[in-house]
Amino acid sequence: MSELRTSDAGLKLIKAYEGFSSDSRKLADGRWVIGYGHTKAAREGLKITEAEAQAILSEFDLPPIEDALNELLLVPVSQNEFDALVSFAFNIGLSQFESSDVLASVNANN
């Protein structure tokens, strides 16, 4: 099975669901978020452009998720399915995704 990467359509989907924030903002759990759902380096007082946010998403945030999905998926999936799974895993976090019913269902070929 060849390694899949998020398509342009998948990137648009993720950006639409996450929404863009040029200024960092504090989440209810105390973490900070900026750009398109980026939390790892977000902190109070940051400001970024939309181009910077897209670069962070596609070059920093998504590759570890794509790599994990390429390992975790035991059955072939379409590009659209992969994009949706990347979006879902990015949203809930990899550790939650690994133990999710969604992954179990996909791997059971459902």
Would you please indicate which residues are annotated as catalytic (active-site) residues? 18
Other beta carbons within 10 angstroms of residue 103's beta carbon come to 19
* H-only helix segments in the chain: 8-18, 50-56, 62-72, 79-92, 94-98, 101-107
Helix (H, G, I), strand (E, B) or coil at 70: helix
Tell me the C-alpha distance between 86 and 68, whole Å: 10
The whole-angstrom separation of Cα 36 and Cα 68 is: 20
